[in-house]
Amino acid sequence: MTIFYITGTSSGIGKALAEQALKIEETIVYGFSRTCSIEHASYIHTSVDLSNVDEASNIKLVKHPDAYKVVLINNAGTIGEVKPIGEQASSSIANIFNINTIAPVLLTNKFINLYKRIDIPMIIINISSGAARHPIESWAPYCASKAAIDMFSQVVQAENGYESDNVKIFSVAPGVVDTDMQEQVRAIDPKDFIHHNKFVEYKNSGQLATPVSVANKILEIIEKPLEYQNVLLDVRKH
C-alpha cells in the first residue's frame, strides 16, 4: 500500500495529484485544504487553513507502518499580492510565508518524525517554482518563500544522506501551469506587474501546462526516486 499526504487538494496541481494517485492500486490519499472537491473511497480529507500557523501545527498525520511507501506532497501555495515591496500589505506577506514555507516545514518535520523509526521509503515533494531561482519583480515574498523551500529541501536531504534509499526529498518547479494562480496573475493591474503581458501571452498562445500533465510527471519521480540525483528539479526537463 502507498500512502499519500497532499496539501492543496481542492484545485489545480494538488487536486490533479490526488486524483491521479487514486488511480494507483492499493493507495490511500489524505488531502489537506480548506475545501473538499474529491469524492473517493480511498480519499480522506482534512479541512485546514494553512495560512493559520496554529491550524497547520495541529494537523494529525495518520501513521501506516505497514505501507510499502509513504509520500508527502507540500503542494499548497499562494502568490499573494503582486506589487513592489513597499506597497504590499503585511497580512499578505505573512500569508505567503505561512502557506509556502512555514506549513511545508511543519509538515515535513511531522512526517519524518512519524516514520523515521520504521524501515519504509519516505518521499517528500515540495512544490517550488522557477521564481525561486530567478527574481521576478513584484513577486518578492513569493520568490523568497519558494527559495526558502529549495534550501530547506537540500538541507533535509543532506541530513538524511544524499545516497539515502530511505528518505528522498525533491523541490520541484512545475513550470507555468493553467491554475487559479495564473488566472490571478492575468487579472493584475499591469502598472503593478511589468511582466503582465508575458503571462497573458502564455495563456493566449497555449503555453500553459495542464495540472494533470504536471501531476503525472511528479508521480513518475515518486515511482522511481532513486533515478533522480538532484534535490532541485524542473518537470519541464524530465
Catalytic residue, candidates 5, 142, 202, 228: 142
Count other Cβ atoms within 10 Å, centred on residue 228.
14
Cβ partners under 8 Å of residue 189, min gap 6: 196
List beta partners, residue 169: 124
89 vs 51, 82, 93, 192, CA distance in Å?
15, 10, 7, 14
Per DSSP, 225 falls in state G
- What is the Cα–Cα distance from 179 to 182, expressed in whole angstroms? 5
Cβ partners under 8 Å of residue 109, min gap 6: none
- What is the Cα–Cα distance from 129 to 173, expressed in whole angstroms? 4
Alpha-carbon dihedral of residues 130, 135, 137, 138, nearest 10 degrees? 70
- Residue 142 annotated as catalytic: yes
Q: Tell me the angle at which helices 12-21 and 211-223 cross, rounded to the nearest 10 degrees.
A: 50
Active site residues: 142
